Each structure stands twice: as structure tokens, then as C-alpha cells.
Chains A and B, each alone.
Chain A
Amino acid sequence: GAGVSQSPSNKVTEKGKDVELRCDPISGHTALYWYRQSLGQGLEFLIYFQGNSAPDKSGLPSDRFSAERTGGSVSTLTIQRTQQEDSAVYLCASSLRKTPSDSYNEQFFGPGTRLTVL
């Protein structure tokens, strides 16, 4: 079956521009996560969606970062006024987690979007 897909696979932008990164989770997965992988910070959590709501945004590094999810499916991570330190690989993951009382469900990762800010 189809896994998590992300687009674009690579994005080069100029400092100060806005970018949108897209994630298509596995069909039926209610939980969606964004992570960022950068040389200086390693792999870090950004935001978690359960359905269309985001109960945990604690990893978003600044107010230039925002994300939304529609129809309980596709998610978009938006970075406004990009800075060079935003350069990283942005990874999306999805899982079957439905309620906080569920036992752990596996997170399946997409291939990532490599963002380069010049």
C-alpha cells in the first residue's frame, strides 16, 4: 500500500520567501507528526495533529512556522520569511493513534523535504 508521501522532495528558496511543504499521510491514519532534521539540532519534533487539530505545537521554533491539516488527511507546513537556519530536512510521519488512551501505534515516516534557504 501507499506510504507517507511528501512534496516537494527538494526546495531551494531565497531568504525572506515563504515556503509550503506538503504531507500526505497513510490513508486512515489519524495522527500526523512533523519533525525537522538539521545538522545542528538533529531530529526534533515540531508539531502533532490528531485529526485536524494540533494539541501539541511545542516544537515549532518560532511564529514564522505554522501548520494545518484538512479533512483529517493532508497537512501543510508553512514557513514564512525563511531564514538560512531553516535549512533542514522536514520529515512527516503518520500513525493510527486515535485517542490519548490508545497504546502506542507505530509512526511511519515519509521521505522528507530537503529545504535549502540561500
Chain B
Amino acid sequence: AQKVTQAQTEISVVEKEDVTLDCVYETRDTTYYLFWYKQPPSGELVFLIRRNSFDEQNEISGRYSWNFQKSTSSFNFTITASQVVDSAVYFCALSDHGGATNKLIFGTGTLLAVQP
């Protein structure tokens, strides 16, 4: 069965601090995709990144970086020098590859509050 675990329910940081959101996944598929989505207070899910299971290179996009480690089945997300606008719920998700639906299996989300 596929499963995504985000153990951190809520994180509170002060602006300019670095913060890492953890994501651990379970799947029997050899090929799969991992995602991070941001859900600001407005409610709409905003896509941040997709990573193919064959690509373990870490990725950096501005203040955001992602650390994918197949050995520990983790796909962690780090925000450097956090800002108030980063306050949101962040979801990690998993999808199979080549399956019939490519439906997303979401973690329970981590609420990040960045205090000024």
C-alpha cells in the first residue's frame, strides 16, 4: 500500500529562520513520483515540485530546497530564511508511475507559521 507520513503537525518559526519539513513515504512501486504542494490560507493547492524516483539529485529553487533519499524513503523540504508569506499548510504527496490513474496520495500536512 502507498502511504505518506508527515510527522510534524505544526511548526512555528521566527522570520529568517531556516525550517525543514519532513516527509516519509511507503510504496511497493519501483517507479513513482513525489510532490510538495503549498496550501496558503486562501485554500488553493499550489504545486511546488515533482521528483521522479530515479532522480535523487537534490534540487534548489530560490529559498526552497528538497532532499530526496531513497535509502530512507524520505523527501524533505527546507525553506531558508523563512518569510511570513511562507505561512501555509504544506503537503507531501506520492503517485505511481504508469498506473491507471496517477492519483495523488497525500500526507496529513504540516502547518507552518512564520512569525514576524
Check A48/B101 contact, CB under 8 A, given A104-B33, A109-B45. yes
Docked CA distance A84–B113 (Å): 30
Interface segment, one of A11-19, A38-46, A62-70? A38-46
A56 and B44 within 8 A (CB): no
Residue of B45, B95, B105 contacting most chain A CB atoms (<10 Å): B45
Check A45/B105 contact, CB under 8 A, given A55-B100, A100-B99, A103-B97. yes
A residues less than 8 Å from B102 (CB atoms)? 31, 95, 97, 104-105, 107
B44 and A110 within 8 A (CB): yes
B44 and A106 within 8 A (CB): no
Residues of B contacting A: mostly: loop
A101 and B43 within 8 A (CB): no
A residues less than 8 Å from B52 (CB atoms)? 104
A44 and B33 within 8 A (CB): no
> Which B25-59 residues have C-beta < 8 A from chain A?
33, 37, 42-45, 47, 50, 52
Name the residue on B nearest A110 (C-beta).
B44
A residues less than 8 Å from B107 (CB atoms)? 42
Q: When each residue 78-116 of chain B gets 1 if its CB lies under 8 Å from chain A and 0 otherwise, what string results?
A: 000000000000010001011111111111110000000
A residues less than 8 Å from B44 (CB atoms)? 109-112
Check A104/B100 contact, CB under 8 A, given A42-B108, A109-B45, A110-B44. no
A residues less than 8 Å from B50 (CB atoms)? 104, 106
Q: Which residues of B are interface residues toward A (Cβ below 8 A)?
A: 33, 37, 42-45, 47, 50, 52, 91, 95, 97-109
23 contacting pairs across A/B (C-beta < 8 A): A31-B102, A33-B101, A33-B103, A33-B104, A42-B106, A42-B108, A43-B91, A43-B109, A44-B106, A45-B104, A55-B100, A55-B101, A56-B101, A59-B103, A95-B102, A97-B102, A100-B98, A103-B97, A104-B33, A105-B102, A111-B44, A112-B43, A112-B44
